[in-house]
Amino acid sequence: SILLLIQFRLSLKEHPDAIPQVQHPDHIMDVGKAIEYLYNTSEGHYNPHQIYIVGHSAGAHIALMLLLDTVYHQYIAGVIGVSGIYDIPLLLKTFPSYTDFIVQAFGADQSRFLDASPISKTSTQLGHKPIIIAHSPQDMLIDHQQPECMVAHLQQFHPNVVLDMTLKGDHYEIMKTETLEQVVKQIIQK
């Protein structure tokens, strides 16, 4: 087994009025190309059919977008989304103060926000790939509606999805818990 941490470029402004050079879907493509590379260059060091993605927050958004993509799904064995952003319009309705960073990452055209959300995607090519949508009730930055709506959406076309609300801690503390470690072990030991 190996563990890899894949970074993606951020949507940063050079000055307050600037449009970031990196915007959606660049973040998804960064991670997708890295996973495709890992899948095609294992050279016996690891099983390329056992690539699982654990994504947190924006990373969970990216993980689900890749899993539901018509190309990249083939490189992914399963996904754990942790405190993810799955429905951008719902996120902005719940947290209007997030508008600035969402516009920074996705552009100002709000009519594109739903299409940029995993909640708008479906797939008939997932087979029995495990998907765990995990969340902490104590997360103050992403509320329970995001994981609940994503699981309800996935269950319409995929039987192997689990909602796990047992994580403890606030948004960033979640990633350091033994509970998350157990969730990760659960998916890779299937």
Closest listed residue to residue 129, CA positions, set 90, 159, 156, 84? 159
For residues 189 and 149, give the distance between their C-alpha atoms in angstroms, rounded to a whole number.
Answer: 26
Higher-confidence position of 159 and 18: 159
Q: What is the DSSP letter of 98?
A: G
**Is-contact 4 38, C-beta < 8 A?**
yes
Whether the model clears a pTM of 0.85, i.e. scores above it, the answer is: yes
In terms of DSSP H, where are the helices of 5-141? 26-40, 58-67, 88-94, 99-106
Q: What is the CATH number of the domain that holds 58?
A: 3.40.50.1820
145 in any annotated domain: yes
Count of structural domains, the chain: 1
121 in any annotated domain: yes
Render pLDDT for 117-174 as a digit per residue (tens, 0 to 9).
999 999 999 999 999 999 999 999 999 999 999 999 999 999 999 999 999 999 999 9
Which residue range forms the structural domain that includes residue 135? 26-34+51-188
